[in-house]
A and B are shown apart, each in its own frame.
Chain A
Amino acid sequence: MSEQLQERRTADTDSETLVEVRELRTYYESNRLFGGNPVKAVDGVSFDIRRGETLGLVGESGCGKTTLGRTLLRLERATGGTVRFDGRDVTKLAGTELKAWRRNAQIVFQDPDSSLNDRMTVGEIVREPLDVHEWRMPGDRRERVRELLDTVGLHPEHYYRYPHQFSGGQRQRINIARTLTLEPEFIVLDEPVSALDVSVQAEIINLLEDLQDEFGLTYLFIAHDLSVVKHISDRVAVMYLGKLMEIGPTEVVFTEPANPYTHALLSAIPVPDPTAADGRIRLHGTPPNPRHPPSGCVFKTRCPMRIKPADYPDMPDAVWDAIILLEDLLAERERMMGTIGWRVREMIGRTPAVGTIDEIYAELFGELDVPASVESVLEEIAAAARGGNHGRAIERLDDAFGGPCSADAPAVEAVGTDTRFSRCHRHQEPYPSPRAVLEAQSPE
C-alpha cells in the first residue's frame, strides 16, 4: 500500500518535497504492572509537505495531531517509520547532528501563557536559541533580537519587559519571534491561535502568512478550528485516532469531502449565519480510547454511513444504529470487567452494581421494531452477556453484524485526482460512495 503511494507521490513533482513522512508510528507503552496495550497515538501515518506550503492538520482532541507534530520535530521518539527532511531521515539523528538539524525545525505552542518563562525578559526569551546555538557574538545577538521583535510587530523597547506585561496576542508574537531566531525552514504551529480572541486571531494569522512569504517558510498548522485551517492551508490532512483519514487540497476537501469523518467534522462547524439550513451530521458518542482502538476501521463506532452487514440488507437504520451502540457498550464492559481491580473486587464480592444486559436492551431496542432474523441473534448475544461472557457476546455480534468495516482496516485510496487520498471501505466497489449515501439521506 505504502509503496504504491510513494510511487504515486514521487510522480507528482510539481514542487519540491521538504518533509516526507512514511508509516510513522508513535506508541506510548503502558506502564501497568502486567503490561497492556500501548497507546497508538500516531499509527502508520504517511504524507509529504512541500517546500513553502502550509499543510493543515485537523482532528478532534486526542486524535494524535499534537503527538504527530512533536514526533516530526523529535520532541517525541518515533516507534517506527521514517521522517525524511530534505531527504535525510531525522528519526535516526543523534548528538551534534541532531542539534544542528534542530535549527531548521521549530515549534509554536498553543498556550501563550504557559510557553513563556515568566522570570525571563522578552529579550532573553527570544535570544535563548541564539545563545544555545552560539550564534555569532552577544552584541550581534541583541541586534538580531531587536530586528525580530520589529518583524513580528512588537517594539524593540519591549526587549526588557516581562511576558506578564503583554496581552495574549502579543505573547504569541513573542513565541513566533523566538521560533524565527535561527531562521528555520519548517515550523510546526500547534494550535497557535486557539487561545486568542477572533480579532487578535486574525492579526496573528496575517502575521504568519506575511512571515511565510518573507522567509519562504513551510508550515504544519495543527488546529481543531476548521475555519482557521481553511483560511491558511494549501492542503489539509484529517486525522482520527492516530490515522490519517483524508488528505488533499484545502479547497476540494472543504467543498467535496471524500471521507465520512471529514463530512461529519465539516458539517459540525457552526456557520455564522442564523438563517443557514442546519445540515449537521450528528456523530454519536466520543472518539474511542486509543489504548483500545476498534478492530477494522477506526471510525466504525461513530460512522454515520457504516456499511450494513451483507446478511441483513433490509435492517432498519434505527436498529442498525442501536446495534453499533450495543457493540460499543459491550466492548466497554468487557474492558471494565477484565481489569485486575475488578477481578479482585469480584473475589471479595464487592463489585459495584451495573445495569444488566436486559436494561441495556430495553434502553436500546425497547421502542424499535426489530426484524425476527436480527432478534434471534440479539437473543444469543444477550444470553452470552447474561452469563458474564462478554467476549463471547462480542464475538457473536461481530460475526453476525460486523460487516466489511469491522473485518479489516480500509486502505488508503486515491479519490478523483492523484493528490487526494482517503481511507474508507466505501471508496471500493460495490459499495455506494459516502457522497452518494449522503445525497440519498437528504431528501432534496
Chain B
Amino acid sequence: MSSTRPILTVHDLETAFFTEKETIRAVDGVSFDVTPGETVGIVGESGSGKSVTARSIMRLIKSPGAILDGSSIRFHHLETVREFADRFPGRTVDLTTIESVRRPDGGSEHPSQRVAPTIIDRIRKGAETELQFLDAEACVFVTAGNADEPASIDAGFIDITRTSGPATRAMRGGRIAMIFQDPLSSLNPVYSVGNQIKEALRLHQGLRGRAASRKAIELLEDVGISDARRRVKEYPHEFSGGMRQRAMIAMALACDPEVLICDEPTTALDVTIQAQILDLLADLQAQRDLAIIFITHDMGVIANVADRVNVMYAGEIVESTDVVSLFEAPRHPYTVGLMESIPGAQAGDRLSSIPGTVPTPTQPPTYCRFVERCPKAFDACDRIHPASLPVNDDVPDHRARCLLYPEDVDEATALARHEEEPQ
C-alpha cells in the first residue's frame, strides 16, 4: 500500500435521482480516499450504489439524476491543479488569501494551511452561498502557493463536482478514466478498434495521423494483444470478449490517467480470461503508479485485487478497512452475511443467505438501512442512524456503520456516540 497523500478524496458524496414518484438517494453520504498505486475496492449487491458512485466521479450522471450540493470530490494531482489554474484562471480560487479576509472568529495564530480546511469544510457543507466570495464557476482551489502563478502552486485540488464544460471533459478520460462491465456495448461497432483509440488520443493529447496510429499500436501491445498491427484495423466484433476488454483498457490508458475506475471489468468474462485481465491491471498499476477504484460483487476478485475495501449497502459505505482485516474479521452483519453466502467458502450442506433485498433509499436515513435483514438487529436500530465509527480503539482504520460498534465500550456509550456524530 502506498503511504503518499491521497490523489482523490470523495467526501460526503450524495447522488440522487428525481423521479415523478420519489427521490431515490442512490449514493447517500459516501466518503473515501484513493492514493496513487493503491486499489480501493467497492463491493455490494446490485442496487447498493457502487456504479452510481463511479459515475458521479466521472460526472456521468444525467438528468433526472444529480450530485447534491454539499458533495465534494477532490482531485489532488499537483500538475493537473497547476495546469487547470493556468487554463482556467477565472475559475481558480486562492483559499489562502480568502481565509485571511473571511476568518469568522478572527484568530490569527493559525497558519493558513491549517485554517484552510475550515473553509473546505464549509464549501463541502453547502455553505458557500454565505461565503459570497465563491463564484458558482469556481472549481480549482489552491491551498498553498500563489494562484496567479501556476508554477508556484504547491498544493490544491480540483473539485470535480463543481467543474463544467471543458474542465469536466479534460478531467473525464484525461485524468480519470473508466472501464465498464460490458466491453461490447461500450465499443462502437461501426468504427475499428484503432479508430476509437485514436479518437481518445486526438481529443486529449492532440495526436493525429501516423503518430496516433503508432501510439494506438503501442497501446494495444502494452495490454497484451499480439499481432497488434493487424488487430488495430479490426472491428470490435472480430475481437473476443477478453480482447475487447483489453482494448477498452488500452483506450482508458491512452491519455495516461492518474485514476482508473474499473466497474465490474471481469464480470462478463470467463475465469481464465478474468485471471489474465486482473494480471494485466496489476502490471499496469505497478508500471504507471495508477490509483484504481475497483467495483465488483465478487468477493473472490476483491480479495485478489484490493488494498482497501469499502462495502456498500443502500447508498452508504457500511464497512471500510484494509483487505486482510476485512476477510479475517468482518464486523458489519451485512459483510458477515456476504462472506457466508459465498458458495465453496462454507463447509455446511446449506448455503446461508441474507433474506430479503436491498431497500431503495428515498429519504435521508433516520434508522439503520440494514435493519430489516439484519440477524443482530435490536430496538435502537429502528431509531438511530449509525455513523461510521472505528470498530475499536486499536484499529482506527477499520470503520463500520453499525450500532454494535465501537465494540470496546458499553452499549449506551456506543449509542450516544452514534447519536452525537453529525449526520
Interface of A with B (CB < 8 Å)?
A: 60-61, 167-169, 197-203, 205-206, 209, 224, 226-228, 230-232, 264-265, 268-276, 278, 280, 282-284, 286, 325, 329, 332, 336, 352-355, 359-360, 363
Contact = CB atoms under 8 A, between A and B. Distances in A.
Contacts of B113: none
A353 B345 CA distance: 51
Contacts of A227: 300, 342-345
* Residue of B226, B229, B301, B341 ringed by the most chain A CB atoms within 10 A: B226
Nearest to B217: A355
B161 to A, nearest CB: 29
A203 B352 CA distance: 8
A274 B351 CA distance: 22
Interface string B340-368: 01111100001111110100000000000
15 contacts: A201-B341, A201-B353, A202-B341, A202-B353, A232-B343, A264-B272, A268-B271, A270-B275, A270-B300, A272-B339, A275-B327, A282-B275, A329-B227, A332-B227, A336-B230
A230 B243 contact: no
A200 B271 contact: no
A274 B353 contact: no
A353 B297 contact: no
A60 B275 CA distance: 13
A262 to B, nearest CB: 12
A282 B327 contact: no
Contact of B343 (A167, A228, A286, A332): A228
Contacts of A352: 230, 233
* Residue of B46, B243, B339, B343 ringed by the most chain A CB atoms within 10 A: B343
Interface of B: 45-46, 221, 226-230, 233, 240-243, 270-276, 278-279, 297-304, 306, 323-324, 326-327, 337-339, 341-345, 350-355, 357
A209 B271 contact: no
B274 A270 contact: yes
A228 B298 CA distance: 13
Given A231-B351, A286-B240, A286-B243, A269 B341 contact: no
Nearest to B234: A352
Contacts of B339: 272
Given A60-B270, A268-B275, A286-B240, A198 B341 contact: yes
A199 B271 contact: no
A353 B229 contact: yes
A265 B276 CA distance: 12
Contacts of A209: 350
A198 B357 contact: no
A332 B227 CA distance: 10
Given A274-B323, A274-B324, A286 B242 contact: yes
Given A202-B343, A230-B343, A224 B270 contact: yes
Contacts of A265: 271-272
B353 A269 contact: no
A273 B327 contact: yes
Contacts of A355: 227-230
A407 to B, nearest CB: 25
A271 B303 contact: yes
A243 B272 CA distance: 18
B353 A200 contact: yes
A329 B225 CA distance: 12
Nearest to B340: A202
B357 A169 contact: yes
A61 B241 contact: yes
Contacts of A199: 45, 337-338, 341, 353-354
Nearest to A193: B343
Contacts of A278: 304
A270 B298 contact: yes
A274 B303 contact: yes
Given A271-B304, A278-B304, 6 more contacts: A199-B354, A227-B344, A270-B274, A270-B300, A274-B327, A286-B243
A280 B229 CA distance: 30
B212 to A, nearest CB: 16
Nearest to A203: B353
Given A286-B242, A329-B226, A224 B342 contact: no
Contact of B297 (A198, A268, A325): A198
Contacts of A336: 230
Contact of B273 (A202, A275, A286): A286
* Residue of B228, B276, B323, B351 ringed by the most chain A CB atoms within 10 A: B351
A280 B275 CA distance: 8
Contacts of B304: 270-271, 274, 278
A268 B226 CA distance: 22
B239 to A, nearest CB: 9
Contacts of A203: 351, 353, 355
Given A226-B271, A269-B300, A270-B303, A197 B227 contact: no
A61 B337 CA distance: 30
Given A197-B46, A271-B303, A205 B274 contact: no
A198 B323 CA distance: 19
Given A203-B355, A270-B298, A271-B303, A60 B272 contact: yes
A167 B355 contact: no
Given A200-B353, A224-B271, A205 B303 contact: no
Contact of B303 (A167, A268, A272): A272
B28 to A, nearest CB: 20
Given A268-B275, A283-B272, A167 B357 contact: yes
Contacts of B271: 60, 224, 226, 265, 268-270
A209 B221 CA distance: 47
For the complex of A and B, the 3 pairs showing the least CB-CB separation, nearest first, are A270-B300, A227-B344, A202-B353
Contacts of A226: 271, 344
B343 A272 contact: no
Nearest to A269: B271
